[in-house]
Copies of this chain bind each other. A is one copy, B any other.
Amino acid sequence: MSIQAVVFDAYGTLYDTQSVAAITEDTFPGYGDLITQVWRLKQLEYSWLRSLMGRYESFSSLTRDSLAYTLRVLGLKDDGEAFERIIEKYLHLDLYPDAMAALTAMKDRKLAILSNGSPDMLNALVHNTGLDRVLAATISVDVNKVFKPSPDAYRLIETTLSVPPASVLFVSSNPWDACGAKAFGLNVAWIERVTPEAMALACVESETIAPLTMFKALRSQMDELGFAPDHRIHSLSELPGIAASA
């Protein structure tokens, strides 16, 4: 069946969540990268835990909660203003360099985002980076009040775009998201945003592995969840070819 829609995860796939590190580093010198890694880990954990507890809160809210947790665990004190400045950056994340050209090259198909982000966060982000001009829809899981990888989150693609799962190519850098989408029945391309650190992990002694390296490795390696993506890519520029031949 031909691909009618290409749907992207937002955070970590189109947008580089690590781009917050310039602000966190500026605010807490020496901790910039570590904050973003721990923050991201807990942000994900809280999305899964709250979904499972049946206690959904918006991604915007748990992004604040997970930042508060991170600063507390690292023993860092903020003055409230710094906290808001870091949070604000989440609305101005950088697009990955390969994003805009890939989207433009596929503009004859329905293009959309399906993200855990709350509508206020996503709309600001998409507007601030000009993606609103190429996307047919920016879908937030907030409609169904449950986060990915729940089937109720992926179901929103068909509800919104009227394209059945078998005609959708879903793109994510997040291994658990790629597995969840595959389990739901979408065609899945996993973009491996491999860091040199993660690649080199196997070559160093355990005592010399930095926590940062370890965290990056844990976010970038495919999970053992019983599902494998259909395509494994290293740049979004590979997508037009995949969409055309599927």
The residues of A with any CB-CB pair to B shorter than 8 Å are: 30-31, 34, 38, 41-42, 45-46, 48-55, 57, 65-66, 68-69, 72-75, 146-147, 149-151, 176, 179-180, 183, 201-203, 205-207, 209-211, 213-215, 217-218, 221, 223-226
Contact = CB atoms under 8 A, between A and B. Distances in A.
Contact of A48 (B48, B73, B207, B215): B48
Nearest to A30: B206
B52 A52 contact: yes
A149 B183 contact: no
A53 B223 contact: no
Contacts of A179: 49, 53
A30 B206 CA distance: 6
A30 B204 CA distance: 11
Given A69-B223, A73-B201, A206-B74, A49 B218 contact: no
Would you call the interface of chain A mostly helix, strand, loop, or mixed? helix
Contacts of A211: 209-211, 213-215
Contacts of A45: 45, 48, 176, 223
Given A45-B45, A49-B176, A73-B218, 18 more contacts: A30-B207, A31-B206, A38-B218, A42-B223, A45-B48, A48-B52, A49-B179, A49-B180, A51-B52, A52-B180, A53-B225, A54-B151, A55-B183, A73-B217, A74-B201, A74-B206, A75-B203, A214-B215
Contacts of A224: 42, 46, 65-66, 68-69
Contacts of A176: 45, 49
A144 to B, nearest CB: 13
A52 B147 contact: yes
Contacts of A223: 42, 45-46, 49, 69
Nearest to A32: B206
A230 B68 CA distance: 21
A49 B206 contact: no
19 contacts: A30-B206, A42-B224, A45-B48, A46-B223, A48-B48, A49-B180, A50-B225, A52-B150, A53-B150, A53-B179, A54-B150, A55-B225, A55-B226, A69-B221, A69-B224, A75-B201, A75-B202, A210-B211, A211-B214
